[in-house]
Amino acid sequence: MTDKRIFVLAHPEARWHAGEAIRAAPDGWKVTLSEPTRSLDQNAALWPLLECFARQKQWPVNGEMASLAPEEWKDILTAAFDQEMVRMAKGISGGMVMLGRRTSKFGKRKFSEFLEFIHATATELGIRIENYPETAMNGNEWL
For residue 16, the SS3 value is helix
The per-residue pLDDT for 83 is 76
- Can you tell me the distance from the alpha carbon of 20 to that of 92, in angstroms, rounded to the nearest whole number? 53
Predicted TM-score (pTM) of the model is 0.70
Distance CA 62, CA 118 (A): 24
DSSP 59: E
Name the fold adopted by 40-142.
NinB fold (1.10.3790)
Query: 3-state DSSP call for residue 64?
Result: strand
pLDDT at 29: 93
For residues 34 and 20, what is the distance between their CA atoms, to the nearest angstrom?
18
Ordered per-residue pLDDT tens for the chain, 143 residues: 568 888 889 999 999 999 999 999 999 999 988 888 888 888 889 999 999 999 999 999 988 999 999 999 998 999 889 876 667 788 888 887 777 677 888 889 999 999 999 999 999 999 999 877 665 545 444 44
Structural contact between residues 114 and 106, judged by C-beta atoms closer than 8 angstroms? yes
> What pLDDT sits at residue 130?
85
Residue 108: Cβ-neighbour burial (10 angstroms; 0-12, 13-18, 19+): middle
H or E segment and range at residue 115: helix 108-124
Locate CATH 1.10.3790.10 in the chain.
40-142
CB 50 within 8 A of CB 36: no
Question: Strand 96-99 and strand 87-90: pairing?
Answer: antiparallel
Give residue 34's pLDDT: 86
Q: What type of residue sits at position 111? A: F
The number of beta carbons lying within 10 Å of the beta carbon of residue 136 is 19
